[in-house]
Every structure is written in C-alpha cells, then in structure tokens.
Amino acid sequence: DIQMTQSPSSLSASVGDRVTITCRASQGIRNDLAWYQQRPGTAPKRLIFAASSLQSGVPSRFSGSGSGTEFTLTISSLQPEDFATYYCLQHNTYPFTFAGGTKVEIK
C-alpha cells in the first residue's frame, strides 16, 4: 500500500500568514493527488485536484504543487474561514490513502 505522510500535523497561524503543508508519498503517484479542507462537523471539500489544479469556486489564495512523491498545499494569506483540517489523498493506486491531516488553528 502507498503510505501518505503529511506535515505538520498541526500549526498555529495568524490571519494574513502564508501557510505551507507538505504531503509525501511512499512511492511515485504521478500527479494523482488531491487536497481537501474539512471544517468541524462538515464533509470534506476538495480544494485542489491533479496536484496543482484549483477546484472551481475555491479562492485563488489556495495553490498546490508537486509531482511524484512530494506535494505542497500553500495558502498565500490565511483568512478566518481557512481555520480547518486539511488532508491529502492519493488516488493513483488502490487502496487509495489519505494522509493523517493538518489542523490549522488560530494563533
């Protein structure tokens, strides 16, 4: 199975900060990676697909990069509504695997 490792597992940041979250795959997954945002008590929402493509309707402060085994989600200027948990997912090979998530909290 492909293992997905996400870091950090949590972070504290202020409104306006630039935030970077990293996901590493245990083997190459091309660009078969998506990023999700989950607010408490709600379903996950896809932000980024194909590693770097922005989902329609998602603010442009979110961006993704990477290919192969290393991927990054960047929030260029953190907004109050961005405090949530973020997950990456590899859908290259079954079983699909999510990383453990990054909880972004208010400093």
Partner 1 sequence: EVQLVESGGGLVQPGGSLRLSCAASGFTFSDFPMTWVRQAPGRGLEWVASIKQDVNEKSYMDSVRGRFTISRDNSKNLLYLQMNSLRAEDTAVFYCARDNKLDYWGQGILVTVSS
Residue 100 lies near partner 1 (rule: CB under 8 A): yes
Q: Tell me how far, at minimum, the Cβ of 94 lies from partner 1, in Å.
A: 4
Residue 89 lies near partner 1 (rule: CB under 8 A): yes
Instruction: Provide the pairing of β-strand 97-98 with 4-7.
Output: unpaired
Counting every residue written for the chain, the total comes to: 107
Q: Tell me how far, at minimum, the Cβ of 14 lies from partner 1, in Å.
A: 25
Our separate counts of H helices and E strands in the chain read 0, 11
- Judge contact between 68 and 7, C-beta under 8 A: no
Residue 28 lies near partner 1 (rule: CB under 8 A): no
Among residues 27, 46, 79, 106, the one that binds partner 1 under rule CB under 8 A: 46
- Judge contact between 19 and 64, C-beta under 8 A: no
Region of 86 (left: φ > 0; alpha: ψ -120 to 50; beta: rest) is beta
From 17-25, 38-46, 60-68, 71-79, span contacting partner 1 (CB under 8 A) = 38-46
Binding residues for partner 1, rule: CB under 8 A, are 34, 36, 38, 42-46, 49, 55, 87, 89, 91, 94-101
